[in-house]
């Protein structure tokens, strides 16, 4: 099956063509156009601006990357939620139009599901289409961690999800962005915090680890964010000191990674999954990737982390999620029935 994926849930306009045969997949084409520079002046994503940028970008991208008549494309998959409503609508309406005009099935995909399925994507380009590749084995436990979501989800099989824990306030990625803003770093803050933390002391500040002592799988990052804010206010005379800023970034990142890793390992010990999947934009954080892999290996659990390219928002992951959904035609929707749903959930 050859499937077109479309992603427009936030500030990336993305298209991808993925070919699947059983559990083996090949990415024929994956294009992402980021709006980061547009939104940096606002310190975050403005939904209406994002929608206008998607509209301006998506048709030239289609003309360059996709056959006009849809020849060879068997289905269209699109992110239908969650996300920014105005941005989602652009991708959804384009997908509906293409599916209707080409006469091919349409699949609506949950953005979070797409992030999980990024771990089914090939690690590198392969010379042959369907060489065997290692993919997660069920049951699989997934930590989805991004700017809008932090949750632990148990995946029993394709399309069967059970949430076992989530954040009670800020998502981890949101906390990274807000701390970066406190330090005067550009949006998005996560990569800038990670770079600044490289030269810092992770033990310089004892920032709180929210809910780490609780016997559950819930997360909280608002206390950590607030603690950083108060520390900065108490040390206003040091705000331009490079070492101080590095120590703040390193100590903050260490606290966030500690919480994410330890909660995940507790879940592994309880549910004993055959695979663990790190998913979402924050999965690009090198320290988090290293810690999750190390601790997962200690517990004899195979850890899957998508390539950096597919950790952030992209359409290849949406195409893959749509591909597995398309194995059951009950997941197909009529174009006139699909609507963008900013509150769409994985379970």
Sorted by where each begins, the domain ranges of the chain are 2-121+309-337, 140-305
| β-strand partners of 20 | 25
> Are the C-beta atoms of residues 153 and 58 closer than 8 Å to each other?
no
| β-strand partners of 76 | 4, 106
pLDDT digits (tens, 9 = 90+) for 31-66: 999 999 999 999 899 999 999 999 999 999 999 999
Residue 295, classed as helix, strand or coil, is helix
> Are the C-beta atoms of residues 192 and 252 closer than 8 Å to each other?
no
Q: What string of pLDDT tens digits covers the 347 residues of the chain?
A: 999 999 999 999 999 999 999 888 999 999 999 999 999 999 899 999 999 999 999 999 999 999 999 999 999 999 999 999 999 999 999 999 999 999 999 999 999 999 999 999 987 654 344 445 689 999 999 999 998 999 999 999 999 999 999 999 999 999 999 999 999 999 999 999 999 999 999 999 999 999 999 999 999 999 999 999 999 999 999 999 999 999 999 999 999 999 999 999 999 999 999 999 999 999 999 999 999 999 999 999 999 999 999 999 999 999 999 999 999 999 999 999 999 999 999 98
Residue 105, classed as helix, strand or coil, is coil
Q: Look at residue 122 in the predicted model and tell me its pLDDT.
A: 87
Q: What is the separation of C-alpha 332 from the centre of its chain, rounded to a whole number of angstroms?
A: 24
> Are the C-beta atoms of residues 98 and 4 closer than 8 Å to each other?
yes
Dihedral sign (CA 196, 198, 203, 209)? positive
Return the CATH number of the domain spanning residue range 140-305: 3.30.420.40
| Structure tokens, 158 | 């394709």
Residue 53 Ramachandran class (φ > 0 left, ψ -120 to 50 alpha, else beta): alpha
Return the CATH number of the domain spanning residue range 2-121+309-337: 3.30.420.40
Rounded distance between C-alpha atoms, residue 174 and residue 101, angstroms:
39
Rounded distance between C-alpha atoms, residue 138 and residue 25, angstroms:
18
Q: Look at residue 132 in the predicted model and tell me its pLDDT.
A: 56
Q: Identify each DSSP E strand in 68-212 by its residue range.
A: 75-81, 106-110, 140-145, 150-157, 160-166
| β-strand partners of 2 | 19
First-last CA distance in the chain: 26
Rounded distance between C-alpha atoms, residue 339 and residue 78, angstroms:
11
Closest CA to 3 of 317, 335, 322: 322
Matching fold, domains 2-121+309-337 and 140-305 = yes
The two beta strands, 160-166 and 275-279, are: unpaired
Kind and range of the H or E element at 49?
Answer: helix 47-65
Q: Look at residue 23 in the predicted model and tell me its pLDDT.
A: 83
| Structure tokens, 40 | 């940096």
In the chain, how long is the greatest CA-to-CA distance?
Answer: 65
| Structure tokens, 199 | 């030269």
Rounded distance between C-alpha atoms, residue 95 and residue 223, angstroms:
41
Closest CA to 320 of 64, 116, 54, 74: 116
């Amino acid at each position: 099956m050859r499937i077109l994926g479309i992603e427009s849930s936030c500030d990336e306009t993305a298209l991808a063509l993925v070919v699947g045969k059983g559990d083996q997949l090949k990415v024929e084409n994956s294009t992402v156009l980021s709006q980061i520079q547009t939104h940096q002046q606002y310190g975050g994503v403005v939904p209406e601006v994002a929608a206008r940028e998607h509209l301006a970008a998506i048709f030239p991208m289609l003309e360059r990357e996709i056959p006009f008549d849809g020849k060879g494309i068997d289905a269209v998959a699109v992110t239908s939620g969650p996300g920014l409503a105005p941005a989602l609508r652009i991708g959804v309406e384009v997908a509906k139009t293409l599916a209707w005009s080409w006469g091919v099935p349409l699949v609506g995909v949950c953005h979070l599901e797409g992030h999980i399925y990024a771990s089914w994507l090939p690690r590198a380009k392969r010379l042959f289409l369907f060489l065997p590749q290692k993919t997660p084995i069920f049951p699989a436990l997934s930590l989805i961690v991004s700017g809008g979501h932090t949750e632990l989800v148990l995946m029993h099989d394709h399309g069967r999800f059970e949430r076992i824990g989530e954040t009670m306030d800020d998502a981890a990625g949101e906390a990274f962005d807000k701390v970066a803003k406190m330090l005067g770093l550009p949006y998005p803050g996560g990569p800038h915090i990670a770079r600044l933390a490289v030269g810092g002391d992770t033990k310089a500040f004892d920032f709180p680890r929210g809910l780490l002592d609780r016997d559950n799988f819930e997360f909280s990052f608002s206390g950590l964010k607030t603690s950083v804010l108060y520390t900065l206010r108490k040390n206003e005379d040091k705000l331009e000191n490079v070492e101080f800023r590095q120590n703040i970034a390193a100590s903050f990142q260490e606290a966030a990674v500690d919480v994410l890793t330890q909660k995940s390992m507790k879940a592994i010990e309880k549910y004993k999954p055959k695979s663990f999947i790190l998913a979402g934009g924050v999965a690009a954080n090198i320290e988090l990737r290293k810690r999750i892999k190390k601790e997962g290996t200690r517990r004899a659990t195979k850890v899957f982390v998508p390539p950096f390219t597919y950790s952030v928002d992209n359409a290849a992951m949406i195409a893959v999620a749509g591909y597995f959904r398309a194995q059951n035609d009950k997941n197909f929707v009529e174009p006139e029935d699909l609507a963008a749903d900013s509150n769409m959930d994985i379970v």
